[in-house]
Amino acid sequence: MHKNDVPNWILSLEKEDLEFIKKFVINSGSLKEIAKLYDVSYPTVRIKLDRLIEKIKLHDEVENEGFVQFIKQLSIDDRIELEEAKLIIEKYKQERKDL
């Protein structure tokens, strides 16, 4: 897989989140095993997973919003530079997160 093919929702996650996902997959999705690895209770791991799920859902919602799609299309049409489009989208996402 090329770097450019990595989905944006993965790129939006923190290193800690990615490490959790890796451990989750390696342990066949067993929250019980993850709890042992992190030396925490099962409910604590469940909360971590639920928060991670919400982060991913929120990212997908923002990515699919009309405004974000509009900015991406402006960049595709060469009406604005790619770097400016990225800055606008990141600012928009940050403001949404602060609501």
Consecutive H or E run containing 35: helix 31-38
pTM of this structure: 0.62
Looking at residue 37, the DSSP 8-state letter turns out to be: H
Do 71 and 58 reside in the same domain of the chain?
no
CA distance to 63, 87, 88, per residue, from 80 (Å): 18, 11, 11
Do 31 and 47 reside in the same domain of the chain?
yes
Do 1 and 45 reside in the same domain of the chain?
yes
Q: Identify the domain containing residue 80 by its residue range.
A: 65-99
Tokens in use for 50? 């639920």
Cβ–Cβ under 8 Å, residues 37 and 27: yes
pLDDT tens for each residue of 36-78: 999 999 999 999 999 899 888 877 777 778 888 888 888 878 8
